[in-house]
Structure 1
């Protein structure tokens, strides 16, 4: 997914431009740190205190120049308007967060308001149109049948969370002035892999196949996750 994001950045912004980045629900800061290392000015927003502590510890081990380019704020992604002025960022990330939000539309609208004109909104969501794939491929036929008409699923942490449909999010993005520019599938072939499994010897070939499938119809529509990129008008 990092390659997809870098592709969108390269295609939308001038070479060498230092972007103002907001990473909402930054987790332990992996993506935020990667972008700070690339020279961008990054703000990470995370409500989980344990994740915040982990991200700050990771940041503390970085060179001074990178530390100066990144700040971490403990707060809720639904309250971006409390922390920032509209139009403050060129790039807003919200990866793996919306599944935990019962009513996502207000949050997505708030994220879009943070974007400057021409700014890029990057969302990573669970694909509701493919919820039957994981149980079906695992041989859980009853769960697969239930999943066809549902947008709720139990994740690997044992939590009941929600998924989003591509058509619904496309309409949402259009309605808030950040229409969908492009989208990718993520984890087309690898969603049933066991957590913590060792990567195969031919991992580079696997990643190439995943990357190709995530850009190609009809495969990308069956992915476990969707990576959507909207652009602020």
Structure 2
């Protein structure tokens, strides 16, 4: 298998966590980390119509897959972990969308042993590229699953956010190692093998034959603001979400985002 990982795109669920769109009046901290991605993805799916065929490559326990199924789409999750697929089955059943979600064991290297080429209207590839031995090859496989005019949602670890976080924590040597190293890896204790800039992700997407339509910075502020400040102020979570949403599309903030989200289309 070419993927050796846990599903980084999925944060540990908060108590009474809402859907990734964060529709509840008070947004738990975990939902702040996915809301920008979900809202951009939901808009992209809505523009392509109802009952789409969606592939979630490396989708783990299905946080995004189940939400897409709730919109009426049919979702296939391909993941190397049997435990994650078991959790997916349970999550889909609890959400009442088990008939629209299926899980298949596999990874990007053997993707077409379990799904067909040009079989999907949308492909999600969230928290996967960081863990692939060959990110370019993996992304080409994922892109080949798209039908003409299909949409890719790509989420990967951002280099600048990691450098900033290590520096603010006082780990200056590790920050420099991440900044100057070839993969954005800060040391032996770093659980993420590689990180990307927005330019690098855009280049990988273009090399896979897709056109970039939007880039978003994700978790620009949410990972840096102490939780006590958010918890202590009424309405602070909603205000922080609005700030994240406002900054997400601005290129100036892509360089300091913890994650980068790219939407791309197959021409």
Indicate which of 138, 152, 156 corresponds to 1:125: 156
Q: Compare 137-146 and 85-94 and name the one that shifted more.
A: 137-146
Equivalent pairs counted in the alignment come to 226
C-alpha RMSD of matched pairs (Å): 2.2
Quick check: 1:102–1:162 contact (8 Å CA) kept in 2? no
Give 1:6's aligned residue: 42
Shift of 1:18: 1.4
Give 1:186's aligned residue: 218
Shift of 1:28: 1.2
Q: What is the rounded CA distance, in whole Å, between the counterparts of 2:113 and 2:58 in structure 1?
A: 15
Q: What is the rounded CA distance, in whole Å, between the counterparts of 2:186 and 2:63 in structure 1?
A: 25
Partner of 1:55, secondary structure, is helix
**TM (normalized to structure 2)?**
0.78
Give 2:126's aligned residue: 95
Can you give the 5+ residue segments of structure 2 that lack an aligned partner in the other structure?
Answer: 1-36
Shift of 1:172: 2.3
Can you give the 5+ residue segments of structure 1 that lack an aligned partner in the other structure?
Answer: none
Indicate which of 117, 125, 136 corresponds to 1:105: 136
Where do residues 151-190 of structure 1 align in structure 2 (5 Å cutoff)? 151-153=183-185, 159-190=191-222
Please state which structure has a larger fraction of its residues in strand. 1
Quick check: 1:182–1:230 contact (8 Å CA) kept in 2? yes
Give 2:255's aligned residue: 221
Q: What is the rounded CA distance, in whole Å, between the counterparts of 1:28 and 1:141 in structure 2?
A: 35
After superposition, the Cα gap between the structure-2 partners of 1:52 and 1:165, relative to the gap in structure 1 and judged at 3 Å, is: same
Q: Compare 77-86 and 31-40 and name the one that shifted more.
A: 77-86
Q: What is the rounded CA distance, in whole Å, between the counterparts of 2:105 and 2:194 in structure 1?
A: 24
**TM (normalized to structure 1)?**
0.88
Q: What is the rounded CA distance, in whole Å, between the counterparts of 2:144 and 2:228 in structure 1?
A: 40
Q: What is the rounded CA distance, in whole Å, between the counterparts of 1:19 and 1:51 in structure 2?
A: 23
Q: What is the rounded CA distance, in whole Å, between the counterparts of 2:251 and 2:91 in structure 1?
A: 38
Partner of 2:220, secondary structure, is coil
Shift of 1:199: 5.8
Quick check: 1:129–1:166 contact (8 Å CA) kept in 2? no
Shift of 1:197: 7.9
